[in-house]
A and B are shown apart, each in its own frame.
Chain A
């Protein structure tokens, strides 16, 4: 089959205007592959928010696929989330080993 040069997938229509779940983003892979396009635009028009987990999954998908995947029409919040997660991918933060909690008994809590 001859490949189309470009295809667009509207995320708000295919998923929702708040994209939360990793597994749902992951399911986009099949939809993107089915387009047979060399470049696929994921159109975030009407998407108001993307969770950190979903943003991470979008970035993993972008890297994984042989097709060129572009994020377009991202609002400020979605842009920020994608950029923060991409930066963390480059230089991951460590587990916070300094975190300490006050340990108390149930009796002390419910006094």
Chain B
């Protein structure tokens, strides 16, 4: 099995967390089993951990070389198994924690999936210590998860959150291993978009369904995260990524890299009061 050494994270900005993910998965062929060497990794963020979980669960492979501190963290968050049931989630969330467990949403679980997602969202509110910003927390999670379930055409989606009390922000990552954004446009509408074009169309609100009343979920989620909450947003699919941070919206082609599916990651500062998302709804 191929071994890939994951580079150390330089800083904790979203872009700097994307870099080791990009370097680790660069030049890996789709479906190739890999052993990830984590000996240089001292810090693990949802944007790094969750794609790794999704890859290991969908393709196979392994990790090794984790420091005792990192391994201890992995044990806490149930890496890479995660939880896929309400009872499993409740068992993990009994004590006061800063992470929101790695949760596996199964399409076939029906209403149980929405109940697990409800627990996840409520725990995000709990670790943030707020109830006044509930709509701003619920909106992006609910829209991004329903997008995964509806568009990926695979059985499982993944989500994970981590609050950093000293830095006063929360990172959330939502991942699937489905057909990706370009694949959705191709399958549903017969449109041959590149990965960058597909991201652009999603953000414009171009639905992959013929219905003109749809297609707002991702772009409104981005606005709620960035404009209502003052956060940062990242949408990656195939070989392209959109990064929205500090007023900049950058679309980047990632040569040699291809993620089968979609990765959404965002960072929100701890809300200081109530947040009204009504101006962003459409």
Contacts and interface: CB of A to CB of B under 8 A. Distances in A.
Interface string A52-83: 11101000000000000000000001001100
Contacts of A21: 113-114, 145-146, 149-150
Interface residues of B, number: 53
Nearest to A17: B118
Contacts of B281: 52, 80-81, 84
Main secondary structure of the interface of B (DSSP, over half): helix
B160 to A, nearest CB: 17
Main secondary structure of the interface of A (DSSP, over half): mixed
Interface residues of A, number: 41
Interface of A: 14-24, 27, 48-49, 51-54, 56, 77, 80-81, 84-85, 88-89, 92-97, 99, 101-106, 109-110
B212 A92 contact: yes
Given A24-B113, A27-B110, A101 B216 contact: no
Contact of A88 (B22, B114, B146, B213): B213
B255 interface: yes
Contacts of B142: 18-20, 49, 51, 53-54
B138 interface: yes
Given A17-B118, A53-B214, A104-B252, 19 more contacts: A18-B117, A18-B121, A19-B142, A20-B114, A21-B149, A48-B138, A53-B143, A56-B213, A84-B282, A93-B216, A96-B219, A99-B200, A99-B203, A99-B204, A101-B250, A101-B251, A102-B249, A102-B250, A110-B19
A95 B206 contact: yes
A21 to B, nearest CB: 5
A96 B196 contact: no
A17 B125 CA distance: 14
